[in-house]
Amino acid sequence: MGTLTGSTITDMFAYDFMRHAFAAAGIVALVSGLVGYFLVMRGQTFAGHALSHIGFAGATGAGLIGLAPIWGLVGFTLAAGIVMGAMSERISTRDVAIGVVLSLALGFGLLFLHYYSGFATQATAILFGNVLAVSLGTIWTLAGLAFVTLAGVALIMRPLIFASLQPELAEAKGVRLRLLSTIFLALVALAVSACAQIVGVLLVFTLMVGPAAAAQRLTSSLWSGLALSAVLAAAEAWLGIALAYETDWPVSFCIALLSALAYFAALGTPRTRRMAVEAA
């Protein structure tokens, strides 16, 4: 195994596909780190996991009718996020229903693959990601999804924080919890769709949950936690690409490995106190 020297880094960026990979991974890591932080804080990680698997059915269905998989992924996850948010503000109470829908979506994905066997290679990329095949057009699509997602999070951030930490008090103050949950899960759906382009639908937790969970172990400050989550996600994504370049291992595996190592390292530190939110 070689070492990551200055010459190696220069060699990596001599290729268009590597520059595209780093750009796409950076965009997705920023979105995943920030949105994932709220996902973990609200205890809705299973909902995020379900959205990624539901997106698999959308991506395979889009491929079956000749559309780009990313648009099927976005459509299905967005619709599912809205429905799940409307079901209840506390998605954790609906785990059984979500699990059933998740299984059904995977079954539909398998059915679509059955009728379009030529899509099998592309399906592998959807399941496990293929950041090294990202085109310039895809980067612009990811940038658009990132802009919409982060703008949406910025607009609802204050009530989202309030409702996440003190839901009863937030509701008493007039915060519409169900509407807020619906908007938030719709934004999670967009983030999941972007993240799946890098690590695949099966490994979305790698960038959406791992860095955020580690950050919440390391700091109790909201703003430093958000920043740390985004930085960890970017570092894991970029180092994972570099490690894959050096070792010829799958990129998604390298990112997943680094994410797990960072989280387990964070587990070894004293747990920070839960952040407090000031009632408005």
Longest CA–CA span in the chain (Å) reads: 60
Lowest mean pLDDT among 1-10, 73-82, 159-168, 191-200: 1-10
The full set of domains in the chain, from first to last, is 6-267 (1.10.3470.10)
Question: Quick one: average pLDDT of 71-94?
Answer: 76
Smallest CA-to-CA distance from 85 within 188, 7, 1, 169 is with 188
Cα separations (Å) of 170 from 98, 160, 180?
A: 25, 9, 11
Q: Enter the pTM of the model.
A: 0.87
Look at 9 and 105; give whichever has higher pLDDT.
105
In tens, the pLDDT along 102-154 reads 788 888 888 887 777 666 667 777 878 888 889 999 999 999 999 999 999 99
In tens, the pLDDT along 221-232 reads 999 999 999 999
